[in-house]
């Protein structure tokens, strides 16, 4: 079975877009909901049966949940990042909890990007 993943964190002119992709392999699912999170640091914390938490919960920033459409296998959320010069150059990491009905919920892999405002 392919891995589900947070495909990208992209920063552009004060907005950050977080995309999640569901690989088209594995059992059919009625709905996939992504609960994305950002963090300023990484960790490796096993959380069976969900997988491994790869972003530091001490710096966790929850983002709005979104549905991953079954036909496209892709969903995204865009947030506005304040235009504060001190944020430029900060590394940020993303991970999502995928709620996959009727199969097992799980954590995605971690993706990283650098903020450029």
Give the domain ranges of the chain: 5-114
Please report which confidence band the pLDDT of residue 4 belongs to, taking 50, 70 and 90 as the band edges. Answer: very low
Please report which confidence band the pLDDT of residue 28 belongs to, taking 50, 70 and 90 as the band edges. Answer: low
Write down the CATH number for the domain with range 5-114.
Answer: 2.60.40
The residue among 1, 3, 2 whose CA lies nearest residue 108 is 3
What share of the chain in percent tops pLDDT 70?
74
User: What mean pLDDT is reported for the chain?
Assistant: 78
Mean pLDDT of 75-85: 81
Q: Is 46's pLDDT higher than 90? A: yes
What are φ and ψ of residue 87, in 5° steps?
-80, -20
Q: Is 7's pLDDT higher than 70? A: no
């Amino acid at each position: 079975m392919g891995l589900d993943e947070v495909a990208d964190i992209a920063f552009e002119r004060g907005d950050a877009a977080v995309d999640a992709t569901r690989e088209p392999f594995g059992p059919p699912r009625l709905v996939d909901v992504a609960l994305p999170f950002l963090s300023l640091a990484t960790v490796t914390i096993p959380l069976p049966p969900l997988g491994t938490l790869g972003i530091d919960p001490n710096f966790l920033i929850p983002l709005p949940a979104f549905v991953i459409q079954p036909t496209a296998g892709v969903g995204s959320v865009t947030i506005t990042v304040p235009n504060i010069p001190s944020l430029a150059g900060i590394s940020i990491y993303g991970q999502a909890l995928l709620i996959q009905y009727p199969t097992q919920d799980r954590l995605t892999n971690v993706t990283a990007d650098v903020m450029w405002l």
